Amino acid sequence: MSDAPRHYRARIYGRYVEAAGAEVAPATLAGLAPRIPYLQRLVGRHFPRRHDAAILDLGCGHGALLHVAQSMGYRNIGGVDGSPSQIEAARRLGIEGVRYGDMFEVVRALPADSLDAAISFDVIEHLDRDEIIAFTDEIVRVLKPGGRWIVHVPNGASPFAAAALYSDLTHELAFTAESITQLALSSGFSTVAFAEDEPVVHGLRSALRLVAWRAIRALLRFYLKAETGAVGHPVLTQNFLAVLTK
- CATH topology assigned to domain 7-198+233-245: Rossmann fold (3.40.50)
Q: Does pLDDT of 215 surpass 80? A: yes
- Tally Cβ neighbours within 10 Å of residue 71: 12
pLDDT value of position 1:
47
What single DSSP character describes residue 111?
Answer: P
Over residues 130-136, mean pLDDT = 97
pLDDT value of position 26:
85
Q: Give 42-74 pLDDT, tens digit per residue.
A: 999 999 999 999 999 999 999 999 999 999 999
pLDDT value of position 213:
96
Confidence of residue 7 (pLDDT cuts 50, 70, 90): confident
Side chain identity at 104, as an amino acid letter? Answer: F
Q: Does pLDDT of 20 surpass 70? A: no
Confidence of residue 22 (pLDDT cuts 50, 70, 90): low
Domains of the chain by residue range? 7-198+233-245
pTM of this prediction?
0.90
pLDDT value of position 132:
97
Determine the straight-line distance between the first and last CA of the chain, rounded to whole angstroms. Answer: 24
The set of residues, in sequence order, having a beta carbon less than 8 Å from that of 48 and lying 6+ positions away, is 55, 116, 117, 148
Q: Give 137-172 pLDDT, tens digit per residue.
A: 999 999 999 999 999 999 999 999 999 898 888 899
Cα(234)–Cα(174) distance, integer angstroms: 16
Cα(224)–Cα(221) distance, integer angstroms: 5
pLDDT value of position 90:
94
Over residues 11-31, mean pLDDT = 75
The overall average pLDDT reported for the chain is 92
Cα(15)–Cα(20) distance, integer angstroms: 8
- Torsion sign over Cα 116, 2, 166, 223: negative
Q: Give 80-120 pLDDT, tens digit per residue.
A: 999 888 999 999 999 999 999 999 999 999 999 999 999 99
Confidence of residue 2 (pLDDT cuts 50, 70, 90): very low
Helices (H), the chain: 7-14, 36-46, 64-71, 84-93, 103-108, 129-142, 161-165, 177-187, 204-228
Residues in the chain: 246
Q: How far is CA 146 from CA 69, 90, 143, in A?
A: 20, 31, 8
